[in-house]
Amino acid sequence: MARSYQDLLAAAREQVPETQVAELASRAADGGDAPLVVDVREQHEWDEGHIPGSVHVPRGFLEGRIAGVASPDQEIVLSCASGNRSLLAAVALRQMGYEHVSSLAGGFTRWKQSGQPWDVPRKLTAPQRARYARHVSIPEVGESGQLDLLGSRALLIGAGGLGSPAAYYLAAAGVGTIGLVDDDVVDESNLQRQIIHTTDRVGMLKGESAKIAINALNPDVQVNVHPFRVTKDNVLDLLADYDVIVDGADNFPTRYLLNDASLMTRTPLVHASILRFEGHASVFLPYEGPCYRCLFPEPPPPDMAPSCGEAGVLGVLCGVMGNIQANEAIKVLLGIGDTLSGRLLIYDALGMTFTELKVRRDPNCPACGPDAQLEFRDYDAWCAGRPHEVEPVAGARS
């Protein structure tokens, strides 16, 4: 006589006791005599979340593997998505002599719905394991570091000379979220160094053009295009969503603004600047190392501050410095190695020398010193040597 699925479940219910979510939760919270929870769902279901402390044995392997995880006299609660598969699985275990087996009523779904805690395992997917194999093999990165990168968020100021290589390598590295702040469009004169853009994207917003390149390189990366200039009015909202700032700005007002905002939000700032054959780089870790104003308390006189637009820049120099920034950002995100915090690295591409200057935190720094007041100002006017307003920022984290 054929029996329906409903008949099978009904018969199983007569043999197998059910454990309620509330009972399991309170026994799990007590610790001590908590039963072993065996989750019999499929791998992809388990990967999306499960009861903390439970062990995973997919239904198809249950009879073969149960001896490895539990003894016949042990108390076991079987769990699945809704409480049906676990009920039938419990019948099988009872036939094997496991007498203290029950089934979790309503399964993991009811467990979640009733607000109980649950774990999502941190694991690379098979395609990610292949893509990031060369990172996973490095002990300092490994699977856990790669997962950290995938969960991290980098904000790039500028998708130009420095931002192009930095964004490209951060995307390749699997930094999960990359924000691109740039209000400019791709120009033919950018292509000598801004390698993330292409000839057929001349005229397109730089953020959009970079997004196309990044999406083509690595679909794991979420790209946020911020098509505006960073200002004192938007910078705090912007930084709230990111773990590190990569400053690829080509002007002093933005550098000083980012420094102040990095201190206010305690967001690490990876700095670089470039001109002709010379590049500078450093890392500013708020209140741990020096900040940009410990190095340069005041902007240079306007006539002493040439821009790349006027003085020119070697395209390759942007690649070297942007990649140094990407490297430092990754170290900051992973908390590994020695960053450039406390050091100013100077690269002379023509002489091919790297020089390092020690930089100390200035106890009288107007931005990060103990008596400093966190404040925004009119950075354009300040850097142009004009009188300007200074506004203290209340509520900033200091």
What is the three-state SS of 326-349? Answer: HHHHHHHHHCCCCCCECEEEEEEC
Q: Which is nearer to Zn ion, 285 or 368 (CB)?
A: 368
Query: Looking at the DSSP assignment, which residues form a beta bridge with residue 358?
Result: 343
Q: Which is nearer to Zn ion, 271 or 293 (CB)?
A: 293
Residue 225 backbone phi and psi in degrees, to 5: -95, 120
The CA-CA-CA angle for residues 22, 24, 25, to 5°, reads 65
Candidates 308, 318, 365, 383; catalytic one: 308
Q: How many CB atoms lie within 10 A of CB 245?
A: 29
Q: Which is nearer to Zn ion, 156 or 365 (CB)?
A: 365
Amino acid at residue number 253: P
Whether 383 sits among the annotated catalytic residues: the reply is no
Q: What is the dihedral of CA 168, 138, 324, 376, to 10 degrees?
A: 80
Q: Which is nearer to Zn ion, 225 or 295 (CB)?
A: 295
Please answer whether residues 65 and 57 qualify as being in contact, where contact means their C-beta atoms are separated by less than 8 angstroms.
yes
Residues in touch with Zn ion (CB under 5 A)? 291, 293-294, 365, 367-368
Least distance to Zn ion from the beta carbon of 214, Å?
33
Q: Which is nearer to Zn ion, 213 or 264 (CB)?
A: 264
Please enumerate in sequence order all residues whose Cβ is within 8 A of that of 156, keeping only pairs 6 or more positions apart, or say none: 163, 166, 167, 170, 178, 179, 180, 181, 246, 248
Token pair listed for 364: 């009288």
